[in-house]
Amino acid sequence: MSDTAIAPKIIKKFLYVNRKAPYGTIYALEALEAVLIGAAFDQDVSLAFLDDGVFQLTKGQNARAIGMKTVSPAFGALGDFGVTRLYVEAESLAERGLTRDDLMIITHDFENGTTGEVPSIIVVDRARMSNVMAEHDIVLTF
Amino acid sequence: MLHTVNASPFERTALTCCLAHAVNGDAVVLIEDAVYAVVKGSTASAEIVAMTEGVDLYVLGPDLAARGINRAKLIAGITEIDYAGFVDLVVAHTSSQAWL
Amino acid sequence: MTTMRPPDAAQCYDLNGAAIEHDEEGYLVDVAAWTPELALQIATTECLVMDDERWDVVRALRSYYEIYQVAPPIRVLVKVLAKTLGPAKGNSDYLYRLFPEGPAKQACKIAGLPKPTGCV
Amino acid sequence: MQPTVPAARIEDVDVKISVLVHAAPYTHQAADTAYQFILAAIAKGHAITRVFFYHDGVNIATRLAVPPADDRNIQKCWSVLAAEHGVDLVVCIAAAQRRGILDEGEARRHGKGDGAANLAPGFRIAGLGQLIEMGIQSDRLVVFGA
Amino acid sequence: MAKPSDYIINAAPSDPLEIPALKPGAMAGCKPFVAKPEVQAALGLPGTLVENWQAKAIEKMGDLLNSSRSLQVAMDSCMKCGACTDKCHFFLGTGDPKNMPVARQDLMRSVYRRYFTVTGKYFPWLVGARDLTEDVLDEWYTYFHQCSQCRRCSVYCPIGIDTSEVSMAARDIMASVGRGQKYSNEIIGKGLKTGNNLGLPLAAIRSTLDSLEEDLRADTGVDIAMPLDAKGSDIMLVVPSADLFAEPHIQGLIGYAKVFHQSGLSWTLSSYASEAANFALFTGSHDHMREMARRIREAALDLGVKRIVFGECGHAWRVAYNFLDTLAGPFDFLDQDHPIPQHICEFTHALIERGQLRFDKSQNDAYRLTYHDSCNVARGSRMGDKPGGQFEIPRALLRASCNHFFDMAPETIGEHTLCCGGGGGLLGDDLMELRAKGAQPRMRALKNVAVEHGVTHMAAICAICKSQFGSVLPAYGFKRDAILSVHQLVGNAIVLDGSIQARALQKAAR
Amino acid sequence: MVSTLYAALFYVAASVLMIGLAARLRRYASIPVPLLIPTTPAPTTRLGVAARLAREVVLFESLFKANTWTWVFGWMFHAALLVVAMRHVRYVTQPVWGWVVLVQPYGIAAGFALVAGLVGLWARRILVPRIRYISAPSDHLMLALLVGLGGSGLLMTYVAHTDIVALKGFTLGLLRLEIRPLPADPLLLLHLALVIVLMLIFPFSKLLHGPGLFFSPTRTQVDNPRQRRYRPQSAARPLPLGRTE
């Protein structure tokens, strides 16, 4: 992409906040597109999932019957792009009757891909989520 | 951090979620349909009254005027701002987050 | 455009609840209905912000209209502005910068004057 | 209206601000709020690094909209903003393609025929990289959406 | 309202006459505002679509077929040879096949066949005959208002069918059943009421003229009068009201005044007949056309002038040259030793021929010029004694007053000239898309001479051309003020006796 | 039987052609031209207009300006048609006039040129999208009719000869209001039937473009309004002179 040629010196912390469920609206899909591009810029990229956004990560999604593309498998590839932190809010899961086990297993290679895989999903409580948000330079909401 | 909320609290949970995540020193600006939240005596206003100490709450005056919300109806402790004030708030906080 | 609204359906600006009729292109039907608040509203539809410089032009247009019951030729407007505001503001490029779609038409619309029609 | 300006905690006087717009014009107020916000920011002497249009926000960039005469013409307002203040208006290429917003190059590339291009003046179509870039280059990023 | 630049996408140098691919329906949505009841009423026309409008329209069509030979011949004689198909600038600019002249005529011809021919009555499918339905009326309204009546197609038709005659008839029919066009009808109404299209009252005209006199005195050091309603003058000048209002038109008026001043003849404008343009030519109403012409006759009688001279206005000149005598003659009270009426270009040209005007061409050295032949002058009138004088004389004026003159490609000038895209009553902002696209061939031709000869400006002698180009030039990468009046250039270069310029030249010579 | 039928048809067709055409021309002549509308630059004298019309009729001047290919095919067809028509004069003159004899060899070549011109025009009508767009079924049928005429004529010349002596007897008979036997060759009958159709539709179809040219004001008017007053019938209505306000 030609417009990626920018001054690479600055590295900012980008947080992509996902608060919407997949399929019903396009936000989840187009947010993911933006995440992948952001990662390609060598920026420090994290994702946050709260409220209905946690539904984006549930297991067993299959959108074939509604004629759409299933979004969730793409999260599995995030590790390859260096996106290794997917913060999920515990309260949001609980409110929706979900547990950590309902979520997909998403991992990334441990340093240089030598010794096995590390889970990417980090379940945090609400207070910690507030801190995560405050820690980032850019908060992009979709 | 500056939070913006733009949806009516009676339609969406954005305001509730936002307030749940706002911490001491944060500011929240209510814009567009979110300004309905600041009318005295509504169920939504209770939430606002109960919100974290140390969070400043602002409401966009032009959006109030457009919706015919009289200043007298505003719950106490809310600051009314115009677009210029909104800009100042954005500048005053190192980051902002929109609760859509 | 023409089919959407029958020609007899009035189109109006809403000024604090009062309906002020305008034509298909947004020009006031009744010149007397103009107020500065209305000018602000018309300027909004034109995507223009009414700063002092634009107000100067609108005022000049209205005072010419009050005398002659017609919009002034650009050349005359320019001359009036040059006399009152100085030569920097008395040229048509300046007017086109303020009113990109043509000072005669766009400024007249905001000033509440009828649209100059003909080969202009 | 006598708006109260918030307590001054403002360190910077001219800050670089960028704006992300997500929502469709007319359907949602976001495009209007963003526009008013930017006008106010410019009036205060801040620089607008870029405005990025994403999701349904790309629909703001069509030149084919013909709103009634007594309504604001949102597309035109943005075009004027670009012309008068040199604001960089970028429409996301992926989102635009989905929603049928094309510039001349895109129209030709996809064989949509002459005259199919509908990107309004002042806008340009570019990749999502421009969103990231504006995040990096600006001091503040504000999101307006639905 | 949209700007022309909203519509222009391709402005690269290219063949002005390049034939586009057919884009059926491309311009189907582009139609002008419909005249409101009060506008219609002022012209004695029904305000809204009348009951049994079909029958009324067909009846009106029958009347026109019985009173206009050109229409009857046009309806019968087209053999669909296709010669005209690539000649309309609106087709070249839009690709909409209904903008091919023959297809435009066919909108009416199909109805004519249905109601007025045996074949169409019994075998409509065979000859493409159609009932006059509301949809057909809508199509008429759309596409007969996408014809600028420039007559370019009539040059190439082997039978000499003139689409402008058909579109005038169609507009006349539509207006008569209550579907009038706002722009033209509003202007005609204003012209009939106030004497000019802009509705300028006497005081406003006088004040503008005063202001111009003041400027002229400052610029030249000479007192140049701008007389209005001066009885007993030698000449009555009739100008398009745009010459009293718009840029660059008003610059042309200044030029006329300088020429008259130097000629030594007395002249005047009339506040009663303060309009040369006759928009009734566009709507096809001979009654309205006659009424506007009558004002000119009355004014000339009233002011007791000996001659009538017309300012720079294309269709005004067509009406004046061809129709004035038929509509409002005889002009036996005027001086018969001069052409009746006379064009300002002819007047200036005659003075040049007699050596009565002195020019300092260097005054126009900032311009590298080309000339746009306006369609109604080129194909609907004449200047001078010989056919083609309408091409020679304006160019002679430009060559006399400018050092740098270059013509555009020969297939785009003279009798082949391309319409500016705003003629025929289409100059309203509601048709901006059409205007911007219709200007494309001319703009391409201009771009080519700009590249080849460094042309910077284009001169014209038509008020519509000047306004239209002022609007659309920026969309093609030119400056808004790249369009000039011919008499603006004449006026710039003319050296008036006793003027500051004359004294400076004298000093330089010594 | 066939002879009687064809003779009857010829009389009917000839009447329709003559009466129809005369009515049409009379109508054209009677419709006023309210204003002067020559397409300029135009001749300033009647003689000049005659020359302009002559150039249009003989050379198709305007069409030449418009489109080379249409002009080539159109002119070829019309010129050939003229020669072919001249050749056919031998069927109605006895003894055959001298110039008609001279024209005979050219007539045959013209027959080919005629069909070639028609095929060219038809090809354009089918292949050029602009012209395809403006074509109605009748436009194709008209070409089919003419190609049929030319083709059947050529076939009679080269493939299936007919008894031209008998044919001439028939045509001369028609002129004298006598019915003489017509050779019953299918090709000849077809050829004649097409001629009859052509005569019948001429006054009601676009074939009127021929006479139309002579009534087309843009080509027939003189550009002299400042030298001669133009007062058409329709302008006879008195002018509402005198100020109304």
- Interface size E-F, in CB pairs within 8 Å, comes to 216
Closest chain C residue to E313 measured between Cα atoms?
C119
- Is there contact between C and E if contact means ≥3 C-beta pairs under 8 Å? yes
Q: Is the pLDDT of residue C35 over 90?
A: yes
CB contact under 8 A, C1 and D66: yes
Q: Is the pLDDT of residue F242 over 90?
A: no
pLDDT band at A114 (very low <50, low <70, confident <90, very high): low
d(CA E311, CA E485): 11
Give one DSSP letter per residue of A41-57, joined into a string. Answer: TT-EEEEEE-GGGGGGG
Q: How many C-beta atoms surround the C-beta of residue B2 within 10 A?
A: 24
DSSP element (H, E) containing D89? strand D89-92
pLDDT band at F130 (very low <50, low <70, confident <90, very high): very high
pLDDT band at A42 (very low <50, low <70, confident <90, very high): confident
- Nearest CA-CA distance, residue E30 and chain F, Å: 21
Q: Which residues contact C99 (CB under 8 A, 6 or more apart)?
A: C48, C54, C57, C106, C107
Is residue E211 within 8 A of residue E458, CB to CB? The reply is: no
Is residue F206 within 8 A of residue F135, CB to CB? The reply is: no
d(CA A66, CA D127): 28
Q: Quick one: pLDDT at residue D70?
A: 85
Question: Letter for the amino acid at F146?
Answer: L
Which CATH topology does C9-45 take? Answer: Dissimilatory Siroheme-sulfite Reductase; Chain: A; domain 1 (3.30.1420)
Look-up of token digits 């009347």: E63
pLDDT band at F236 (very low <50, low <70, confident <90, very high): very low
DSSP element (H, E) containing D18? strand D16-21
Q: Which residues contact E5 (CB under 8 A, 6 or more apart)?
A: D121, E436, E474, E475
Q: Quick one: pLDDT at residue A112?
A: 63
Q: Is the pLDDT of residue E282 over 60?
A: yes
d(CA D110, CA D129): 22
Average pLDDT over chain E reads 95
Q: Quick one: pLDDT at residue C9?
A: 54
Q: Which residues pair with B1 in a beta bridge?
A: none
Structure-block tokens of residue D88: 């960089």
SS3 content of chain D, % helix, strand, coil (to 5): 40, 20, 45
Q: Which residues of chain B have pLDDT under 70?
A: none
Q: Quick one: pLDDT at residue A1?
A: 41
pLDDT band at E3 (very low <50, low <70, confident <90, very high): low
- Nearest CA-CA distance, residue F40 and chain E, Å: 4
Structure-block tokens of residue E310: 């017309």
Q: Quick one: DSSP state of residue D119?
A: B
d(CA F113, CA F121): 12
Give the domain ranges of chain E: 16-180, 188-493
- pLDDT, one tens digit per residue, over E68-96 is 999 999 999 999 999 999 999 999 999 99
Rounded to 10 deg, the angle between the E101-116 and E163-176 helix axes is 60
pLDDT band at A2 (very low <50, low <70, confident <90, very high): very low
CB contact under 8 A, E6 and D121: yes
- What is the rounded average pLDDT of the residues F57-68? 97
Q: Is the pLDDT of residue D3 over 70?
A: no
Q: What sign results for the dihedral spanned by CA atoms E30, E31, E32, E33?
A: negative
Give the domain ranges of chain F: 1-62+136-221, 67-131
Q: Which residues contact E184 (CB under 8 A, 6 or more apart)?
A: E171, E279, E282, E283, E425
Percent of chain B with pLDDT strictly greater than 70: 100
* A122: three-class secondary structure by DSSP: strand
d(CA A35, CA D129): 10
C47 is catalytic: no
Question: Letter for the amino acid at C15?
Answer: L
User: Exposure of E470 by Cβ count < 10 A (0-12 exposed, 13-18 middle, 19+ buried)?
Assistant: buried
pLDDT band at F244 (very low <50, low <70, confident <90, very high): very low
Percent of chain C with pLDDT strictly greater than 70: 92
Q: Quick one: pLDDT at residue A115?
A: 64
Q: How many C-beta atoms surround the C-beta of residue D7 within 10 A?
A: 11
Determine which of E1, E6, E432 to mutate to test the interface with D (most D C-beta atoms within 10 Å): E6
Chain F CB contacts of E329 under 8 Å are 229
Q: Is the pLDDT of residue C6 over 50?
A: no
d(CA E8, CA E21): 17
- Nearest CA-CA distance, residue F154 and chain E, Å: 25
The CATH architecture assigned to C52-110 reads Orthogonal Bundle (1.10)
**All partners of chain E with 3 or more CB pairs under 8 angstroms:** C, D, F
d(CA B71, CA B64): 8
Q: Quick one: pLDDT at residue C17?
A: 82
Determine which of B11, B89, B91, B96 to mutate to test the interface with D (most D C-beta atoms within 10 Å): B91
Closest CA to A136 of A10, A11, A13: A13
Q: Which residues pair with C18 in a beta bridge?
A: C15
Q: Quick one: pLDDT at residue B77?
A: 87
d(CA E458, CA E478): 11
Q: Which residues contact A50 (CB under 8 A, 6 or more apart)?
A: A17, A18, A19, A88, A89, A92, A129, B17, B21
First and final C-alpha spacing in chain A: 23
- Nearest CA-CA distance, residue C16 and chain E, Å: 25
From the list F33, F138, F223, which residue is nearest E382 (CB)? F223
From the list D9, D41, D144, which residue is nearest B92 (CB)? D9
Closest chain A residue to B24 measured between Cα atoms?
A130
From the list D3, D11, D144, which residue is nearest B82 (CB)? D3
Look-up of token digits 């284009």: E458
CB contact under 8 A, E387 and F44: yes
C-alpha angle C105/C109/C113, rounded to 5°? Answer: 95
CB contact under 8 A, B86 and D37: yes
Structure-block tokens of residue E385: 């004694």
- pLDDT, one tens digit per residue, over E390-437 is 999 999 999 999 999 999 999 999 999 999 999 999 999 999 999 999
Q: Quick one: pLDDT at residue C120?
A: 87
Q: Quick one: pLDDT at residue F233?
A: 64
pLDDT band at E13 (very low <50, low <70, confident <90, very high): low
Q: Quick one: pLDDT at residue E510?
A: 82
CATH of D16-144 among 3.40.50.1580, 3.40.50.300, 3.40.1260.10, 3.30.1180.10: 3.40.1260.10
Question: Letter for the amino acid at F224?
Answer: N
- Nearest CA-CA distance, residue A12 and chain D, Å: 6
d(CA E460, CA E477): 19
Is residue E160 within 8 A of residue F39, CB to CB? The reply is: yes
Q: How many C-beta atoms surround the C-beta of residue F127 within 10 A?
A: 9
C-alpha angle F123/F124/F129, rounded to 5°? Answer: 120
Q: How many C-beta atoms surround the C-beta of residue E409 within 10 A?
A: 15
DSSP element (H, E) containing A88? strand A85-89
Runs of H (alpha helix) within E131-271: 134-143, 152-156, 163-176, 182-194, 202-220, 249-263
d(CA E487, CA E310): 12
The A138-141 sheet, strands edge to edge? A121-124, A85-89, A44-49, A13-18, A138-141
Is residue F133 within 8 A of residue E95, CB to CB? The reply is: no
Percent of chain E with pLDDT strictly greater than 70: 97
First and final C-alpha spacing in chain F: 78
Give the domain ranges of chain A: 13-141
From the list A20, A126, A133, which residue is nearest B97 (CB)? A133
Chain A CB contacts of B16 under 8 Å are none
d(CA F173, CA B9): 102
Q: How far is CA E251 from CA A130, E255, E350, in A?
A: 69, 6, 21
- pLDDT, one tens digit per residue, over E335-374 is 999 999 999 999 999 999 999 999 999 999 999 999 999 9
d(CA D69, CA D78): 17
Q: Which residues contact A138 (CB under 8 A, 6 or more apart)?
A: A12, A13, A14, A15, B95, D135, D141
Q: Is the pLDDT of residue C119 over 50?
A: yes
Percent of chain F with pLDDT strictly greater than 90: 86
Q: Quick one: pLDDT at residue A116?
A: 74
Given CB atoms, is D66 within the 8 Å cutoff of chain C?
yes
Closest CA to E376 of E489, E238, E277: E277
Question: Letter for the amino acid at C52?
Answer: D
* Class at the top of the CATH hierarchy for domain E16-180: mainly alpha
Phi/psi at E267 (nearest 5 deg)?
-145, 165
Structure-block tokens of residue E134: 């509301």
- pLDDT, one tens digit per residue, over D60-98 is 999 989 888 888 899 999 999 998 899 999 999 999 999
The D47-53 sheet, strands edge to edge? D123-126, D89-92, D47-53, D16-21, D140-144
ipTM: 0.84
Is residue E274 within 8 A of residue E244, CB to CB? The reply is: yes
From the list A50, A129, A141, which residue is nearest B98 (CB)? A141
Residue range(s) occupied by CATH 3.30.1420 in chain C: 9-45
Residues on chain C bordering chain D, Cβ-to-Cβ distance under 8 angstroms: 1, 5, 11-14, 22-26, 44-45, 47-49, 100
Residue range(s) occupied by CATH 1.10.10.370 in chain C: 52-110
CB contact under 8 A, E204 and C119: no
- What is the rounded average pLDDT of the residues C13-39? 91
On the CB side of E86, CA atoms within 13 Å amount to 17
Give the domain ranges of chain D: 16-144
Phi-psi region of E276 (alpha: psi -120 to 50; beta: other; left: phi over 0): alpha
Which CATH topology does A13-141 take? Answer: Hypothetical Protein Ychn; Chain: A, (3.40.1260)
Closest CA to E418 of E449, E388, E393, E445: E445
